[in-house]
Structure 1
Amino acid sequence: MTAQTPTTPSFRDPRLPFAKRIDDLLARLTPAEKVSFLHQYAPAVDRLGVAAFRTGQEALHGVAWMGPATVFPQAVGLGATWNPDLVRRIGEAVGREARAMRAGDDRVGLNVWSPTVNLLRHPLWGRNEEGYSEDPRLTSSLATAYTRGLRGDHPVYWRTAPVLKHWLAHNNETDRDTSSSTVRPRVLHEYDLRAFRETVEAGAVAGVMPAYNLVNGRPNHVSPHLREQLRTWTDQELLVCSDAGAPSNLVDSEHYFATHEEATAAALRAGVDSFTDHGTDPSRIVARVQGALDQGLLTEADVDTAVRRQLAVRFALGEFDPREDPHTDDSGFDTPEHRALAREAAEQAIVLLRNDGLLPLAPDTRVAVVGLLADECKLDWYSGTLIHRSTPLEGLYERFGADRVTFAEGVDRIRLRTSAGTFLRVPAAPDQPAQARGADGALDPALLAGRTDLPPLTCDATGSELALTDWGEGVLTLRAPDGRYLSVADDGLVRASADQPGGWIVQETFRLEPHAGGHLLRHLGTGHPVSVAADGVRVAGRPPEVFEIVVAERGEDAVARAAASADVVVVVAGNDPHINGRETEDRSTLRLPEHQRRLLRAARDANPRTVLALVCAYPYALGTPSPPAMLWTAHGGQAAGTALARVLAGDVPPAGRLPQTWYESDADLPDLLDYDVIGSRQTYLYFEGTPLFPFGHGLSYTSFGYADLTARVGDGALRVSFQVTNAGDVTADEVAQLYGRAVEASVPRPRRELLAHRRVTLAPGERTRLDFEIPLSALAFWDVALGDWRLEPGPFEVLAGASSEDVRLRATVHLEGTPAVPRPVLRRGLDAADFDEQSGAAIVDRSRTAGDAVTPAVGRSAELVYRDCDFADGVTEVSALLAGEGTLELALDGGPVLASLTLRPEEPLGPYAYTAVGAGIVAEGVHDVRLRLRGPLRLAHVDFRG
């Protein structure tokens, strides 16, 4: 224990509880110092010996952006492991590396912005790679495990302080800072909030980050759900950190507030405690907060509340108790244990989608490995710098021997002829300086990108052969003969200067556009076509060059040659995480890009014994006859290639399971901005079609038997038990999955819903009994008639098996719940958003601070249906809170219009100026109420009186 002197301030006394120490420090700070703490980069307070502090350190699947670190599989790959224990251990490793890296670099933060718990509702979301699953329970179980690992197990001091991203209902990059997600109450409570809630309630979360988008017309950075939901789930002081630039968006792009002072005050009062805006420059945020204080929009108590939450995190991280902090000596960085863990994670993340007996491969198999990702180990935006790397080709060389493995990348080899008859030429690269190489000698892409010290492309009579890869939608990359990617730096010159595509704005992508009998080569990073100038090849020059494409070799020809000479061909296909699907860019289609479909067809035509290994951040629809064996893995980090080779060889039987539905085609998908998973039947919970591969799917090299299911209800829980047996001849993992469904539901409920799962390792012939206890509260649904959770009585089916569609055992229990009753509309009225069904409606903000209203989404009309409304002995009047202009029509059941309520203000009053409009009505008994909105009208609430 640290000895104290009489002059030691209380906030330095580790014997006192954190709350008292925070009170003491807060009282010592001046108003200006407290305001300065509200920016992401809080300055030091030298007079108190308080160090500078910043919120935010990316650590989604390893410490990111801070140089070399252990790189684990992408989050969606960790989701495919269905293994909370593994994910917890990865969290521990990442937390240790963050601590170890911080010891030598104070830019490394301990308030980590991870994990992402946004649900993978729509597979075209560009950031699909960042989430764990489309299912809230699987997501929350893995997010809870990761945060526990990041937090550490010390009862007082946290290793790192994890912040969950991104609050709330965020699954689109298209117009992400201006689009609004319409989320009805049932979807809000049963789906989007659930993953956050269960993770926060587990107790290892330091806070959340609001998303860029709006929900029901209101920006997430002023969401009342932060106060009404998040902060009611725990007694802990949660820290809410804004997303980068989002505070300014409230005025600049969303136009939700007229001034930045109003916007900053509203965000602070809603619960945002740390403002990530304008990079390292705090001056504008400080000025906005001070302006809000001067205008009376904020009080000093509002500022104190936010600063208190920040200090709670800083004390928990041991900042003020360096002698007591058990994590200050963490030196776990690139250890043998972390390297082994990265390989274990990569192995467990591999999903065997199909196998007609082709796998595993015999030791003497001659393998052709082909495809655009066959010799790649891709990084994404949130990856650290690789210390070690392993591509599929390298893994197969290691496992089968280089003499038994042949390789064909499958790129098209081309030359580009200018209108003058010359060809583009890539000058030879000078020796790279030592600082451009990583620890393993590889070129560091972060140091290569944007370089201007390399010679630009020129033209001559012979030119250079370029490797062209079409990543889909006509988006191309071009590589020099030595493997460098063509890129454009700030000076506009085209150079072969990148080891990989990357960066916030990718400068390595192009498009060939037909023009004047040839093609323009348009650079997508700048939007300008390529021209040939005296000082070299550049973009935005005049005039643009018209190129003729001279093909030296088609990629499918090289693939066919390699495939024909092998016993088995492994086609490695997938995506580059920086192209056609990433942060800021959604995908436009599920289809595998045409270039890769060509390669797959060529391989299969040359050798029917074809294995397709998809290495990608999201599901694909193949659009071609399926090969006899298929595997999927997310980009697997530093051990990806070794792991894939070991699974192909049978050293590790595959046991990954799909964390989201793989659909047959784009026709199975709703609109990307349709967040109503219930109404539009999204995800495995509601989807009624036939998927390409269902949620939870994954095969093995052995078989498992399920038997002896028991299920009973008692003492507030559903208890289920069943037996799993390894019926094969190899030791392997099985992921046993438990689902449930309400048999006679009074409202649309999931077709089946994951209740629990367990990943177990079984030797040949070994059997184990799995026991699950599910609280009955987990079987409830959000009843909009009551505005609360309700456990519905009646039969409830329990399903156990190997996927959401591979159900092996069933049992039915009877739940004793609360029966449905008609809506008590005389007592509660109807909140507009509490509809049972809708057509053409959007939920919008009732006011800037709280509540929902409903308005027509498209066109000038919308219809709402409220089932089983009880008018008791009769009503004589209806009254509606309306804003805008138009008419609200009311009908019962399928009958005629009984009342029309029209609002025609003499002058526009704004979207939040509600007026109560009434009319007479005669009704009694129980009826369905149908409301039709005509015109630009907002409906907040309807009341009935007798």
Structure 2
Amino acid sequence: TEGGAEAVMTSYNEINGVPAIVNDEVQKILKDTWGLPGHVVCDGGDMQQTVYDHKYFKSHAETVAYGLKAGVDCFTDDKEVVMASAWEALEKGMITESDIDRSIRNSFRTRIRLGFFDGNGDCPYTGMGEEYINNEEHREICAKMAEESVVLLKNEKEALPILPGKTESLALIGPLADVWYKDWYCGIPPYSVTVLDGMKKAYPDTEITCTSGLSDIYLVCGGKYAGLDEASRLILTDKENAEAFTLTDWGTGCSTLIARSNGKYVTLEEGSCQIKADKDEAFSWFIRESWNFRQIGEKKEDGETEESGKIEEYGKTAWYLDSWNGRQVAIDEKGYLAVIKTAEKANGEGEENEETACFLRSGEPAVFTMETVKDGISEAVKAAGSAQRAVLVLGCNPVINSKEEIDRTTLALPPFQQKLADAVKAANPDTVVVLLSNYPYTINRLQEEMPAILWSASGSQELGNGIAGVLSGRTSPAGRLNMTWYKSDDDLPDMNDYDIIKGKRTYQYFDREVLYPFGHGLSYTSFSYGKLTLEEKADKIIARLSVTNTGSRTADEVVQLYVHKEKSRVKQPVMQLKSFVRLKDLAPGETVEAELIVNREELRYYDVISEAMLLESGDYTFMAGASSGDIRQQAVLRLEGETAGKRSPWEVTAADRYDDYENCFIHKGVEGYTCVIPGKAGDKPDEVKAELPQKNGALPAKIKSVLVYRDFCFERAPEETTFTLYALEDGKIKLTVTPEASEGISMEIPMKAGAGFEEMKIPVAEEFSRLKGVCTVTVETEGKIKLCRFCFR
């Protein structure tokens, strides 16, 4: 509504057990409530996933039918499957022609507004020529964005900037020093600028040496060497014909190999067992250029060494080599490197090509050793030691360890990069770090040991010029982190846990020390903040304060405004960013007034009692600063809003409208019931799974959960309670009602496994006759019980 959205795409994931493509909130909220004027499209290939992956329906016709009625207008999936499914749904009466007409009307409305059907010359977009693409104005905008987005994480003793006029020699070192990677969902740029390109332009009179720090290796197997045949396939040969490969270890078992003779990536061909060096880049839905060197001889958990004889045979570190999808590499009868297909086609392997597939159906995995052709770290140390300053460029390949459908397993910097950093820093103490990554790292040692660190995300075609502009001091950095950078993997809960409140995740709820706070970013100058004043309007709050450049350089400053609600009914964030402003080009000594606006609507939260957004009356603390961890000024404003109401015990309370919980998750199944189920995120809702047996041979414990509902107002004592639930196994419910300032009254209700959802009416215990006033209701379940709703009578 605020941004004027024309269309929305539903996501792949489920929300409380309902695939987004069939979630009726698309119609009820996006269209009926917010009045979306255009159309809704599903994510690519998602229609079939509802059956194959979510297993929510048994037929694609059901997905089309429920999707259409849920408000999805366009199904981007296999054309033939969509058409057949739509015909089936229509013929079975699951949808009507009016449902189809409505979706077509929504899609065509967008096409008409875009001018798809305008006559010749009527649509202004059809007359746009090549002059609108990659012109000088656009390149200048891109370059400015690249500079303005750079974040200065650390700058000890003014290690930066490195002034060109005072720098005779620079060593540019690292795996990202002279490469440029596309990010996922990026465009294809007409040109790209690496860090080396940018540095050469920014330091025209400085001697610059550049090395990646990566090693070139031979792969040795059984006394023979991996080489390339005429078709660039990897084959064992003699040393004279061996191929040298540049090895990049990206961490967590992901490496890439580039053949030195042709500069191509080694890949597992789609639909084939063939391993070739013929790819220009590692970039596709499935990263077939990713390889895992699995060391033989690593100690198992029991302390024994795996296949130690293999190591003795080769006399040095020995490795198995696994493909991107876990297939083991072996040597076929002709000496070619190929993968062993020990199971049916894996996800992403593609259809087998009869001419080239030749999958090995059996055999032992090959054992490889590495023979160093060029020691990358030694070369980096030499370059760093002979230069006046060293710039170490580290980071990620945007699609190797983290992209759509690929989750990182650690926040740690790849061990090889830390090893390279240690060696370079030892060779030249005047080493600074440039980190190019699209996600945070736990770079604790870099923060402790390196004098300065810059960070930027990848993707800008002007990336190298942006980095060089900040390193050289042409621009003072003012970028800010849009995520919290933590110190350890242990700071985060399970990946499937999406509750940022109980998990104390993000700057809003985290209560320990972080590496870099949300909004962090330093400058080459300094700024002071004047007194914060607040003005309340009917629909907004205006915050004002003066900002003065107290340093010696012209620079930007990003002023951030955070808000915290004092004394709330619910657990409020420690702080929430509600507004920010970038003050441009403040000269030394210059003072400007910053104005930040917060709409009253943005201070609301979802109230589980009224099931609506609520602006709570009370005191609000507004905090202005340079980051969430650097608050300079604050002021308190009392806002008159609403007071959360009380729950009525005589009205139905949906189980998912709790105030607190332990060990449970929400799920809405195809039966239409929204339930709270004992377990954790990711558990199967219909699976009864006993926990491990207890000590002394006792029976396995049943899974338990706790639900807490505050502010029930009992004007009189209840006589019975009614639960709507589905008990998948025998168990029990413990119901506790606790009046204010007194002990709770409890009763246990045994549950027998049922065949489906049922309404159970249970007389309350005699002690409940003492209940009166405001109480907290706690429902504890034992056993796999789907609780839908409850009330008192």
RMSD value over aligned CA atoms? 2.1
Conservation of the 8 A alpha-carbon contact between 2:12 and 2:20: yes
Q: Using the alignment, how far apart are the partners of 1:456 and 1:589 within structure 2?
A: 32
Percent identical pairs in the alignment equals: 33
Answering whether residue 161 of structure 2 is matched by residue 360 of structure 1, we say: yes
CA offsets per residue over residues 391-422 of structure 1, 9 Å max, x none?
11121122213851111211123222221x22
Deviation of the 1:335 alpha carbon: 1.5
Q: Using the alignment, how far apart are the partners of 2:609 and 2:274 within structure 1?
A: 64
Answering whether residue 288 of structure 2 is matched by residue 488 of structure 1, we say: no
Q: Using the alignment, how far apart are the partners of 2:736 and 2:534 within structure 1?
A: 45
> Which residue matches 1:811?
635
Deviation of the 1:291 alpha carbon: 1.2
Question: For residue 747 of structure 2, what is the amino acid of its counterpart?
Answer: A
SS in 1 for 2:81: helix
Deviation of the 1:722 alpha carbon: 1.0
Alignment of 1:36-185 (within 5 A): none
Give the alignment partner of residue 891 of structure 1, picking from 728, 732, 736: 736
CA offsets per residue over residues 740-764 of structure 1, 9 Å max, x none?
1112222110101111111121222
> Which residue matches 2:772?
924
- State which drifts further: 502-511 or 656-665: 502-511
Conservation of the 8 A alpha-carbon contact between 1:240 and 1:272: yes
In 2 relative to 1, CA 842–455 (structure 1 residues): closer, same or farther, beyond 3 Å?
closer
Conservation of the 8 A alpha-carbon contact between 1:530 and 1:544: yes
Deviation of the 1:262 alpha carbon: 1.8
Deviation of the 1:565 alpha carbon: 1.4
Question: For residue 20 of structure 2, what is the amino acid of its counterpart?
Answer: N
Answering whether residue 542 of structure 2 is matched by residue 719 of structure 1, we say: yes
> Which residue matches 2:712?
869
SS in 2 for 1:844: strand
> Which residue matches 2:304?
none
In 2 relative to 1, CA 869–875 (structure 1 residues): closer, same or farther, beyond 3 Å?
same
Answering whether residue 141 of structure 2 is matched by residue 341 of structure 1, we say: yes
Q: Using the alignment, how far apart are the partners of 1:422 and 1:382 within structure 2?
A: 41
Deviation of the 1:848 alpha carbon: 4.8
> Which residue matches 1:778?
602
Give the alignment partner of residue 128 of structure 2, picking from 320, 330, 351: 330
Q: Using the alignment, how far apart are the partners of 1:621 and 1:635 within structure 2?
A: 18
> Which residue matches 1:661?
484
SS in 1 for 2:126: coil
> Which residue matches 2:576?
753
Q: Using the alignment, how far apart are the partners of 2:253 and 2:90 within structure 1?
A: 52
Answering whether residue 542 of structure 2 is matched by residue 730 of structure 1, we say: no
CA offsets per residue over residues 109-149 of structure 1, 9 Å max, x none?
xxxxxxxxxxxxxxxxxxxxxxxxxxxxxxxxxxxxxxxxx
Q: Using the alignment, how far apart are the partners of 1:738 and 1:896 within structure 2?
A: 43
Q: Using the alignment, how far apart are the partners of 2:116 and 2:776 within structure 1?
A: 60
In 2 relative to 1, CA 487–255 (structure 1 residues): closer, same or farther, beyond 3 Å?
closer
SS in 2 for 1:276: coil
Deviation of the 1:533 alpha carbon: 4.8
CA offsets per residue over residues 805-844 of structure 1, 9 Å max, x none?
1111111111112234432333x33211111110011111
CA offsets per residue over residues 52-74 of structure 1, 9 Å max, x none?
xxxxxxxxxxxxxxxxxxxxxxx
Conservation of the 8 A alpha-carbon contact between 2:610 and 2:645: no
Deviation of the 1:599 alpha carbon: 0.7
Give the alignment partner of residue 524 of structure 1, picking from 321, 324, 331: 324
* TM-score, structure 1 as length reference: 0.72
Q: Using the alignment, how far apart are the partners of 2:108 and 2:579 within structure 1?
A: 37
CA offsets per residue over residues 462-486 of structure 1, 9 Å max, x none?
3233221111012211122243222
Conservation of the 8 A alpha-carbon contact between 2:47 and 2:76: yes
Q: Using the alignment, how far apart are the partners of 2:382 and 2:57 within structure 1?
A: 63
Question: For residue 459 of structure 1, what is the amino acid of its counterpart?
Answer: T
Deviation of the 1:617 alpha carbon: 0.9
> Which residue matches 2:350?
none
Conservation of the 8 A alpha-carbon contact between 2:603 and 2:615: yes
> Which residue matches 2:81?
284
Q: Using the alignment, how far apart are the partners of 2:286 and 2:644 within structure 1?
A: 54
Unaligned ranges ≥5, structure 1: 1-199, 430-452
Give the alignment partner of residue 796 of structure 1, picking from 613, 620, 639: 620
Question: For residue 938 of structure 1, what is the amino acid of its counterpart?
Answer: K
Conservation of the 8 A alpha-carbon contact between 2:725 and 2:758: yes
Answering whether residue 436 of structure 2 is matched by residue 615 of structure 1, we say: yes
Deviation of the 1:232 alpha carbon: 4.1
Q: Using the alignment, how far apart are the partners of 2:87 and 2:750 within structure 1?
A: 44
CA offsets per residue over residues 175-219 of structure 1, 9 Å max, x none?
xxxxxxxxxxxxxxxxxxxxxxxxx4321x122111111111111
Aligned length: 711
Give the alignment partner of residue 648 of structure 2, picking from 814, 818, 824: 824
Give the alignment partner of residue 423 of structure 1, picking from 207, 213, 225: 225
In 2 relative to 1, CA 773–393 (structure 1 residues): closer, same or farther, beyond 3 Å?
closer
> Which residue matches 2:587?
763
Question: For residue 701 of structure 1, what is the amino acid of its counterpart?
Answer: Y
SS in 2 for 1:638: coil
Conservation of the 8 A alpha-carbon contact between 1:457 and 1:495: no
Unaligned ranges ≥5, structure 2: 297-309, 312-317, 341-359, 681-690, 692-702
Q: Using the alignment, how far apart are the partners of 1:342 and 1:400 within structure 2?
A: 21
Alignment of 1:393-412 (within 5 A): 393-401=196-204, 404-412=207-215
Question: For residue 764 of structure 2, what is the amino acid of its counterpart?
Answer: G
Deviation of the 1:897 alpha carbon: 5.9
Q: Using the alignment, how far apart are the partners of 1:238 and 1:938 within structure 2?
A: 38
Q: Using the alignment, how far apart are the partners of 1:387 and 1:457 within structure 2?
A: 36
- State which drifts further: 811-820 or 657-666: 811-820
Conservation of the 8 A alpha-carbon contact between 1:371 and 1:409: yes
SS in 1 for 2:118: coil
In 2 relative to 1, CA 937–660 (structure 1 residues): closer, same or farther, beyond 3 Å?
same
Give the alignment partner of residue 915 of structure 1, picking from 759, 762, 778: 759
SS in 2 for 1:424: strand
Answering whether residue 479 of structure 2 is matched by residue 681 of structure 1, we say: no
In 2 relative to 1, CA 406–330 (structure 1 residues): closer, same or farther, beyond 3 Å?
same
Alignment of 1:815-854 (within 5 A): 815-826=639-650, 828-845=651-668, 848-849=671-672, 852-854=674-676
Q: Using the alignment, how far apart are the partners of 2:135 and 2:487 within structure 1?
A: 42
Q: Using the alignment, how far apart are the partners of 2:194 and 2:677 within structure 1?
A: 52
Conservation of the 8 A alpha-carbon contact between 1:726 and 1:767: yes
Conservation of the 8 A alpha-carbon contact between 1:891 and 1:897: yes
Q: Which one has more relative contact order, counting CA pairs under 8 Å at least 6 apart? A: 1
Q: Using the alignment, how far apart are the partners of 1:924 and 1:639 within structure 2?
A: 68
Deviation of the 1:716 alpha carbon: 3.5
Conservation of the 8 A alpha-carbon contact between 1:218 and 1:848: no
> Which residue matches 1:273?
73
Q: Using the alignment, how far apart are the partners of 2:417 and 2:89 within structure 1?
A: 55
Give the alignment partner of residue 566 of structure 1, picking from 387, 395, 403: 387
Question: For residue 675 of structure 2, what is the amino acid of its counterpart?
Answer: A
Question: For residue 615 of structure 1, what is the amino acid of its counterpart?
Answer: L
Q: Using the alignment, how far apart are the partners of 1:736 and 1:689 within structure 2?
A: 24
Deviation of the 1:714 alpha carbon: 3.7
Deviation of the 1:853 alpha carbon: 1.5
Deviation of the 1:526 alpha carbon: 6.5
SS in 1 for 2:125: coil
> Which residue matches 1:460?
238
| Rg comparison, structure with higher value | 2
Deviation of the 1:917 alpha carbon: 3.4
Answering whether residue 492 of structure 2 is matched by residue 706 of structure 1, we say: no
Question: For residue 7 of structure 2, what is the amino acid of its counterpart?
Answer: G
Q: Using the alignment, how far apart are the partners of 1:703 and 1:687 within structure 2?
A: 28
> Which residue matches 2:356?
none
> Which residue matches 1:230?
30
Conservation of the 8 A alpha-carbon contact between 2:583 and 2:594: no
> Which residue matches 1:644?
467
SS in 2 for 1:678: coil
> Which residue matches 1:103?
none
Conservation of the 8 A alpha-carbon contact between 2:183 and 2:399: yes
SS in 2 for 1:477: strand
Conservation of the 8 A alpha-carbon contact between 1:799 and 1:809: yes
